[in-house]
């Protein structure tokens, strides 16, 4: 009998009115579990619990918050193989990637455990005699979180951990496709000693649970990671709400990797293969535009093609698999639609792009590499979110930089070069929140800010000490001595 995983509200696991299956994209005959489908009533109960818990938690001893987060970190790290397998089963990442993501979640928890002890303020002299000024940071309140399917434990963790560290209470709705990893994380945090109501989990449809979260007057802030269209709607709703909600958005990317004539070819190929195709290309930081200058273009395409031919696409849990399946049928359909669009626009499907059959039924797609792409084509402008990359030829560095910046997105940008002059100029002039030199555009550290500009991000950065900008509010207090 399949286990039903329940929502977690006010410190209790609540039996759902209905549940939905969580399928393994590597083997669609396997049901990972049945997960609750929350209702508006569930969401309202979770917000009420978070509101009730907020006064005590926001004023709690920082040592308590440290202890809870560190205990959770230790359990996550101790169970990383088990949790990594769960992640890979529900999302389709290869097992090493799944285990790596779980380890990162553990690191995030330990970082923010220490942040609970590091939060400080300022004592400032006033321009008026006898007046003292204190600048402090306080928790915002009840934080609503809506997380995506492509990083099922890392992204929930990098939202929940700072929220709790800085004294907020939380209601989280994970992506409907991958609720299992978030459920496991919430269970671990609960058993680590969180008071009732501090952390609440309501799984279910975004149109039901997410919408109710947006409309609830006792949700003080929304942190969202997902599509641009949904992010824009959330931002508008938060501004229109009464009272207005603080909002943080991480959305799409159409990230460029520039390869110059002087690049180390092996380094450039590895950056492109990793950034564009690993994790099945299902990363907002993926290198979907490979901008290559004339002198190295043909050698780069040939070498990257050979690299792709050696990549194994198969069951995420199988040893030797480099690329797992696409997450579900809808995403597979979208990938294939864009492959057809690229061909229709006149780009050349240089290699791959075919559906693959494996031992189990699943959503397997051969990585697709397009050449002869113009930056005006849809495959160069719209986020595909799959193992599809477009090679765009450039005459030299100046044109390559111009093409890299010619996008509505601005999350991550990379360059492969041995030139200090060009790498320094690119770091300064690439219109992106994160810049990589001789590294894949995907792959960031947990202790530094994550985020972009233009259509990729809105609001304060996530991760690292910069997370306090969203999860705290500043208070200035004056005292006449």
Task: Summarize the confidence of residues 342-363 as an average pLDDT.
Answer: 97
Predicted local confidence at residue 339, as pLDDT: 98
pLDDT bucket at 132, cuts 50 / 70 / 90: very high
Predicted local confidence at residue 1, as pLDDT: 57
Cα distances from 12 to residues 40, 82, 195, 353, in angstroms, run 17, 24, 11, 46
Cα distances from 401 to residues 273, 301, 360, 407, 422, in angstroms, run 21, 19, 44, 11, 10
Angle at which helices 154-165 and 95-118 pack, to 10 degrees? 10
Predicted local confidence at residue 442, as pLDDT: 95
Evaluate whether 254 touches 380 at the Cβ level (below 8 Å).
yes
Sheet holding 4-5, edge to edge: 4-5, 27-36, 19-24
Cα distances from 75 to residues 103, 129, 147, 200, in angstroms, run 11, 53, 22, 19
Nearest to 53 by CA among 160, 184, 180, 143: 143
Task: Summarize the confidence of residues 422-438 as an average pLDDT.
Answer: 98
Whether pLDDT at 2 is above 90:
no
Tokens standing for 244?
A: 């207005």
Nearest to 293 by CA among 314, 262, 272, 320: 262
pLDDT tens-digit readout, 317-343:
999 999 999 999 999 999 999 999 999
Evaluate whether 137 touches 467 at the Cβ level (below 8 Å).
no
Evaluate whether 180 touches 152 at the Cβ level (below 8 Å).
yes
Evaluate whether 424 touches 448 at the Cβ level (below 8 Å).
no
User: What is the torsion angle, in degrees rounded to the nearest 10, for the CA atoms of residue 437, residue 442, residue 445 and residue 450?
Assistant: 100
**Mean pLDDT rounded to a whole number for the chain:** 97
Distance separating alpha carbons of residues 427 and 430, to the nearest angstrom: 6
Task: Summarize the confidence of residues 223-245 as an average pLDDT.
Answer: 95
pLDDT bucket at 151, cuts 50 / 70 / 90: very high
Tokens standing for 285?
A: 């930081």
What share of the chain in percent tops pLDDT 90?
A: 99
**Per-residue three-class SS string for the chain:** CCCEECEEECCEEECCCCEEEEEECCEEEEEEEEEECCCHHHHHHHHHHHHHHHHHHHCCCHHHHHHHHHHHHHHHHHCHHHHHHHHHHHHCCCHHHHHHHHHHHHHHHHHHHHHHHHCCCEEEECCCCCEEEEEEEEECCEEEEECCCCCCCHHHHHHHHHHHHCCCEEEEECCCCCHHHHHHHHHHHHHCCCCCCCEEECCCCHHHHHHHHHHCCCCCEEEEECCHHHHHHHHHHHHHCCCCCEEEEECCCCCEEEECCCCCHHHHHHHHHHHHHHHHHCCCCCCCEEEEEHHHHHHHHHHHHHHHHCCCECCCCCCCCCECCCCCHHHHHHHHHHHHHHHHHCCEEEECCCEECCCCCCCEECCEEEECCCCCCHHHHCCCCCCEEEEEEECCHHHHHHHHHCCCCCCEEEEECCCHHHHHHHHHHCCCCEEEECCCCCCCCCCCCECCCHHHEECCCECCHHHHHHHEEEEEEEEEC
Evaluate whether 275 touches 287 at the Cβ level (below 8 Å).
yes
Enumerate the active-site residues: 250, 284
Whether pLDDT at 481 is above 90:
no
Tokens standing for 15?
A: 């039996």
Task: Summarize the confidence of residues 152-180 as an average pLDDT.
Answer: 98
Distance separating alpha carbons of residues 453 and 428, to the nearest angstrom: 14
Task: Summarize the confidence of residues 449-473 as an average pLDDT.
Answer: 97
Distance separating alpha carbons of residues 44 and 380, to the nearest angstrom: 42
Whether pLDDT at 248 is above 90:
yes
Distance separating alpha carbons of residues 181 and 174, to the nearest angstrom: 9
Whether pLDDT at 435 is above 60:
yes
pLDDT tens-digit readout, 261-310:
999 999 999 999 999 999 999 999 999 999 999 999 999 999 999 999 99
Tokens standing for 152?
A: 């099922």
Look-up of token digits 């399928």: 23
Whether pLDDT at 117 is above 60:
yes
Nearest to 108 by CA among 169, 159, 175: 159
Distance separating alpha carbons of residues 137 and 392, to the nearest angstrom: 47
Predicted local confidence at residue 131, as pLDDT: 97
pLDDT bucket at 243, cuts 50 / 70 / 90: very high
Evaluate whether 225 touches 147 at the Cβ level (below 8 Å).
yes
Length of the chain: 481
pLDDT bucket at 17, cuts 50 / 70 / 90: confident
């Amino acid at each position: 009998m399949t286990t039903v995983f329940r929502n977690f509200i006010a410190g209790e696991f609540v039996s759902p009115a209905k549940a939905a299956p969580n399928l393994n994209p590597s083997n669609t005959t396997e049901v990972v579990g049945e997960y609750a489908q929350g209702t508006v009533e569930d969401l309202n109960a979770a917000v009420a619990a978070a509101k009730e818990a907020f006064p005590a938690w926001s004023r709690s001893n920082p040592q308590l918050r440290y202890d809870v987060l560190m205990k959770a970190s230790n359990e996550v790290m101790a169970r990383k193989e088990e949790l990594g397998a769960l992640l890979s089963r529900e999302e389709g990442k290869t097992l090493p990637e799944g285990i790596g993501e779980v380890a990162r979640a553990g690191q995030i928890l330990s970082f923010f455990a220490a942040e609970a002890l590091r939060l400080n303020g300022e004592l400032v002299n006033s321009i008026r005699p006898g007046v003292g000024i204190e600048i402090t940071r306080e928790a915002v309140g009840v934080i609503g979180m809506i997380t995506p399917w492509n990083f099922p434990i890392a992204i929930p963790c990098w939202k929940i951990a700072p929220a709790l560290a800085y004294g907020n209470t939380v209601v989280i709705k994970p992506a409907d496709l991958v609720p299992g990893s978030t459920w496991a994380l919430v269970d671990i945090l609960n058993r680590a000693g969180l008071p009732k109501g501090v952390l609440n989990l309501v799984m279910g449809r975004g149109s039901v649970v997410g919408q109710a979260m947006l409309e609830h007057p006792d949700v003080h802030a929304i942190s969202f990671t997902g599509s641009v269209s949904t992010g824009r709607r959330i931002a508008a709703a938060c501004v229109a709400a009464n009272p207005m909600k603080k909002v943080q958005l991480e959305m799409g990317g159409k990230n460029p990797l520039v390869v110059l004539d002087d690049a180390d070819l092996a380094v450039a190929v590895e950056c492109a293969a990793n950034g564009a195709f690993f994790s099945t290309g299902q990363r907002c930081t993926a290198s979907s535009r490979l901008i290559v200058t004339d002198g190295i273009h043909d050698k780069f395409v040939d070498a990257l093609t050979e690299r792709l031919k050696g990549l194994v696409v198969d069951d995420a849990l199988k040893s030797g698999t480099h690329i797992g399946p696409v997450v579900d049928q809808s995403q597979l359909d979208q990938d294939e639609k864009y492959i057809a669009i690229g061909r229709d626009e006149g780009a050349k499907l240089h290699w791959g792009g075919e559906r693959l059959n494996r031992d189990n039924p699943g959503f397997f797609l051969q990585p697709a590499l397009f050449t002869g792409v113009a930056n005006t084509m849809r495959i160069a402008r719209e986020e595909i979110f799959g193992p599809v990359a477009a090679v765009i030829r450039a005459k030299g560095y100046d044109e390559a930089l111009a093409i890299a910046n010619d996008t509505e997105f601005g999350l991550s940008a990379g360059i492969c070069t041995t030139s200090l002059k060009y790498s320094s100029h690119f770091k300064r002039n690439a219109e992106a929140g994160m810049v990589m030199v001789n590294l894949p555009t995907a792959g960031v550290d947990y202790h530094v800010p994550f985020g972009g500009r233009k259509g990729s991000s809105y609001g304060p950065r996530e991760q690292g000490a910069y997370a306090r900008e969203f999860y705290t509010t500043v208070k200035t207090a004056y005292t006449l001595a």
